[in-house]
Amino acid sequence: MKTRYSSYIINKAISFIAFLLIYYIMGSWENNITLTLQSSILAVITIGMLGNILKGMIIGWFLADDISLKFNKKYNTTILSILALLSFYKFIYYLLLMDNSFGYFFIKAANYFQWILGIYIFLLVQYSIKKKKEALSNNGY
C-alpha cells in the first residue's frame, strides 16, 4: 500500500511538471509562430488547436488515475464528434466568414473544447490499452 501511494504521488508530480513544461513550450511556440505566420490565419489556428489538444492530453495524463471511462462505442463516437465539431469552430468561422454575433464567444470557448477533446482522447487511448493488456494477460501472453 505504501509503494502504491508513493508511486501515485510521483506520477502526479511528474505529470504536473510535464504539463507546466509543455504549457510553457507550447505558449512560446504558438507566440513565435503567430508572429511569423501573420498572413496565414488558418496555419495559426491549426497550430493553436494542436497545442490545445496536446495540453488537454497532458491534463488527461494528470487525471488518468482519478477518472475511468466505460467503453460504449456509440456514446464515445457521439461525444468525440460533438467535441470535434466544437473544437473546429475557429476553422468554420474563418472559412465561412460568418458575422460577428457569437464569433468572439465561441472562438474563446473553442480553446476549452479542444482541451476537453485532448483529455477525452487520452482517456480513451488509456482505456483501450488497459483492455488489450488484460486480454493478453488472460490469454497467457
**What's the predicted TM-score (pTM) here?**
0.67
Q: Could you tell me which of 57, 80, 42, 27 has the C-alpha nearest to residue 126?
A: 57
User: In this predicted model, what pLDDT tens digit does every residue of 29-62 receive, in sequence order?
Assistant: 777 776 776 667 777 777 778 888 888 887 787 7
Q: Residue 1's pLDDT band (boundaries 50, 70, 90)?
A: very low
User: In this predicted model, what pLDDT tens digit does every residue of 62-101 receive, in sequence order?
Assistant: 777 666 666 677 888 888 888 888 777 777 666 665 555 6
Contact between residue 62 and residue 19 where contact means Cβ atoms under 8 Å apart: yes
How many residues in total does the chain contain?
141
